[in-house]
Amino acid sequence: MAGQVKSSGDRDLRLDFFRGLALWFIFVDHIPANQFAWATLRNYGLSDATEIFVFISGYTATLVYSRVFAERGFAFAAAKVLHRCWTLYVTYMFLFFAFTAQVAYTARVFDNPLFREEMGIASYFEDPTLALVHALILMFRPANLDVLPLYIVLLLAFPLVLPGLVSRPRLVLAGSALLYLAARSFQWNLPTYPEGGVWYFNPFAWQFLFVLGGAVQRYRQAGGGLPSSGGLLTASILYLLVSFVLALSWRIAWLGALMPTMLGEFLYPISKTDLDPLRLLHFAALAYVVLCFVGQDASWLRGWIAQPIVACGRQSLQVFCLGIILSFTGQTILVQFNDSLLAQLATTVLGIGAMVVVARILTWYQKAERQPRRNVAAAKDSGA
C-alpha cells in the first residue's frame, strides 16, 4: 500500500505478484466456511498473507521514500509520508463507514443480528457517538479491517526510522528487534474499544517485519545479493515441511492425535497478534526459498497467468478495500442463500474476478492520465 514506484523499467514484479497474491488470499480467507480457503497459505504453514503484505509494504515504503529523501531531503520525505498516511486514513474511514453500513443493512434485511456480532459492530449501535469517536482514533474496528490501521500506524512512525534506514540499516534493524522483544516480554500493545481489548496486530511487534522489509531493500540497494548457501536452503525447506505437517494437524483430526502433548505445550500459543517467532521464522524461510527459485527476471512474471495477480498488487489499496466489501458479500450469499460447493466456487471466482477488473481499470486510467503529460514534456523538449 505504499506509494507507487515511478519508473516501470526498474520495477521488481515479484513485489507486485506476491502482494497481489496476498490480497487474493486475504479475500478468500475472510469468507467463513469457504472450502476454497484451503488453497491459501495459512493452511500449510505458520505464517500467512499478512506477513507477506507487511514485509512488502516495508520494502516498498523504503524503496519509494528513500529516493525522495536522497533527492529532496528529510523534511520533504517526511511530508510525503505523512501525506500518504492521511490518504490511507481517509480511505480507511470511508471503508469503515461503507463496511459498517453494509453489515448493518444486511443484518436488518435478513433479520439476522448475528452478522453484527460476528463482524464486531454491535458496540457501534449500543453507543454510536462513543464508538464513532473511537473509530476516528483507530480504537474501534469491525472484523477484517485490522491490516489497514496497522499499516497507517507503521507508516506514521516511518519518518523516525527513514534516515537511519538510509545510513545505518543494521543499527535500525537491531533497535527494531529490541522493541519487538520488549513488546513480547512486557506485553505492550495498543488498546481498543470496547474496553479491555488490544489491537489484533500488535504494532510494537509487527513493526519488526516492516523494518526488516526496509532493511532488506537497503541491502539490495547497496548491491547485496541473496546469500547462497545449500545448508541454509536445506534448513529452510525442512522447517517449511515441519510447519506444513504442524499446520495440517490443526485441521486433520487423526494427524493432530499423533502430535505429542509435550510438543504442543512447548509451541503453543503461536500468537499472530504478537508475531510469534515461529511465524516470523516461517515467513523468513518461505521468503528465502521463494527468492532462491524466483529471480527478478523470471519470464513467467510477465506472462498472462501472472498478470491478473500483478495488476492487483499494483493497485493494492483499492483492491484491498474492495476485497473487504466483497468478502462480506460472499459470506452473506453463503449464509443466506446457498452454501454449496458450487456457490463457494462462484463466490470466490467472481470476487477475485471483480478485483482483477477494478485493478486493470485503475491501471489503464493511470497510464492514460500520464500519457498527456509525457506528450507535453516531449513537445517542450523538441521546442514545439
Separation between Cα atoms, residue 57 and residue 213, nearest integer Å = 7
User: 269: cis peptide before it, omega within 30°?
Assistant: yes
- Determine what percent of the chain is predicted with pLDDT higher than 70: 94
Q: Is the pLDDT of residue 371 over 70?
A: yes
The mean predicted confidence, pLDDT, of the chain is 91
Q: pLDDT per residue over 237-262, tens digit each?
A: 999 999 999 999 988 888 888 888 88
Q: What is the pLDDT of residue 259?
A: 83
DSSP string across 49-118: HHHHHHHHHHHHHHHHHHHHHHHH-HHHHHHHHHHHHHHHHHHHHHHHHHHHHHHHHHHHHTT-THHHHH
Q: Is the pLDDT of residue 23 over 90?
A: yes
Q: Is the pLDDT of residue 7 over 60?
A: no
Please, which pLDDT band fits residue 384 given cuts at 50, 70 and 90?
A: very low
Q: Is the pLDDT of residue 300 over 50?
A: yes
> What number is the average pLDDT over the span 320-340?
96
Q: Is the pLDDT of residue 126 over 90?
A: no
Separation between Cα atoms, residue 284 and residue 261, nearest integer Å = 27
> What number is the average pLDDT over the span 108-134?
90
Q: Is the pLDDT of residue 8 over 50?
A: no
Range in 1-15, 201-215, 270-284 with the lowest mean pLDDT: 1-15
Q: What is the pLDDT of residue 375?
A: 58
Q: Under a CB-based contact definition with an 8 Å cutoff, are residues 197 and 44 in contact? A: no
Q: What is the pLDDT of residue 69?
A: 97
Q: Is the pLDDT of residue 5 over 50?
A: no
Q: pLDDT per residue over 127-136, tens digit each?
A: 899 999 999 9
Q: Which amino acid is at 80?
A: K
- Determine what percent of the chain is predicted with pLDDT higher than 90: 77
Separation between Cα atoms, residue 183 and residue 130, nearest integer Å = 29
> What number is the average pLDDT over the span 103-116?
92
Phi, psi angle pair for 75, to nearest 5°: -60, -45
State the alpha helices, DSSP H only, in the chain. Answer: 13-29, 49-72, 74-109, 114-118, 122-126, 128-136, 147-156, 158-167, 169-186, 203-221, 230-249, 253-258, 261-267, 277-293, 307-314, 316-336, 341-381
Q: pLDDT per residue over 74-109, tens digit each?
A: 999 999 999 999 999 999 999 999 999 999 999 999
Q: Which amino acid is at 40?
A: T
C-alpha cell at 171: 543499527
Separation between Cα atoms, residue 3 and residue 69, nearest integer Å = 14
